[in-house]
Amino acid sequence: MQKLVIVESPAKAHTIKGYLGSGYKVVASKGHVRDLPKSTLGIDVDNNFEAHYINIRGKGELIRELKKEAKAADKIFLATDPDREGEAISWHLATALGVDPTEANRITFNEITKAAVKDAIKRPRRIDMDLVNSQQARRILDRIVGYKLSPFLWKTVRNGLSAGRVQSVATRIIVDRENEIRAFVPKEYWTVDADLITEKGKKLTARFYGKAGDGKKTELTCESEAMEVVNGSKNEQFKVREVKRGKKFKNPSPPFITSTLQQEASRKLNFQSQRTMKVAQELYEGINLGSEFGGVQGLITYMRTDSLRVADEARAAAKEYINERYGDKYYPENPRVYKTKSGAQDAHESIRPSRVSVEPQAIRSKLTPDQYKLYKLIWDRFVSSQMASAELSTVQIDIGCAEYVYRSSGYTVKFPGFMALYEESADVEVEKSPRLPQISEDELLETDKITPEQHFTEPPARYTEATLIKFLEERGIGRPSTYTPIITIITTRGYVKRSGKSLIPTPLGEVITKLMCEQFPDIVNYAFTASMEDNLDRIEDGDSTMSDVLSSFYDGFKRELEAAEASVSKDDIDVPVEETDIVCEKCGAKMIVKDGRYGKFAACPNYPECKNTKPLTKSGKPAPSVVPDADGEVKKCEKCGSDLVIRTGRYGSFYACSKYPECKFTKQIAKPLGVKCPKCGADIVAKYGRNRTQFFSCEKYPECDFSSWDTPTDEKCPKCGKMLLKKKGRDTLVCIDSDCGYKSVDDGRDK
Positions annotated as catalytic residues are 302
**Cβ atoms 509, 496 nearer than 8 A:** yes
**C-alpha–C-alpha distance, residues 91 and 132, integer Å:** 7
- Of the candidates 358, 386, 351, 355, the one whose C-alpha atom is nearest the C-alpha of residue 372 is 358
**Region for residue 696 given its phi and psi (left: phi exceeds 0; alpha: psi -120 to 50; beta: otherwise):** beta
Percent of the chain as helix, strand, coil, to the nearest 5: 35, 25, 40
Give Cβ neighbours of residue 137 (< 8 Å, ≥ 6 apart).
535, 536, 539, 546, 549, 550
Write out the H or E segment, with its range, that includes residue 227: helix 223-233
- Of the candidates 749, 706, 744, 711, the one whose C-alpha atom is nearest the C-alpha of residue 727 is 711
The residue type found at 537 is D
- Classify residue 660 by its DSSP letter: T
**Cβ atoms 392, 411 nearer than 8 A:** yes
**Cβ atoms 346, 307 nearer than 8 A:** yes
In three-state secondary structure terms, 653 is strand
- Of the candidates 622, 648, 653, 626, the one whose C-alpha atom is nearest the C-alpha of residue 637 is 626
DSSP string, 535-592: HHHHHHTTSS-HHHHHHHHHHHHHHHHHHHHHH--GGG-----EEEEEEPTTT-PEEE
**C-alpha–C-alpha distance, residues 615 and 330, integer Å:** 60
What are the φ and ψ backbone dihedral angles of 476, each rounded to 5 degrees?
75, 25
- Classify strands 613-615 and 599-603 as parallel, antiparallel or unpaired: antiparallel
**C-alpha–C-alpha distance, residues 418 and 386, integer Å:** 8
The alpha helices in 98-199, defined as continuous H runs, are: 114-122, 129-156, 165-183
What separation in angstroms does the CA of 560 have from each of 148, 516, 557? 11, 10, 5
**C-alpha–C-alpha distance, residues 248 and 433, integer Å:** 14
In three-state secondary structure terms, 309 is coil
Return the axis-axis angle of helices 273-285 and 483-492, rounded to nearest 10°: 140
**Cβ atoms 350, 257 nearer than 8 A:** yes
- Largest Cα–Cα separation, the chain: 96
Three-class DSSP labels, 671-719: EEEEEECCCCCCEEEEEECCCCCEEEEECCCCCCCCEECCEEEEEECCC
In three-state secondary structure terms, 484 is helix
The residue type found at 251 is N
Q: Starting from the edge strand earliest in sequence, which strands make up the sheet with 578-583, in order?
A: 578-583, 590-596, 599-603, 613-615
Residues 570, 573, 574, 576, CA torsion sign: negative
CA angle 525–528–530, rounded 5-degree value: 105
Find the distance separating the first CA and the last CA of the chain, reported in whole Å.
Answer: 38
Write out the H or E segment, with its range, that includes residue 205: strand 203-211
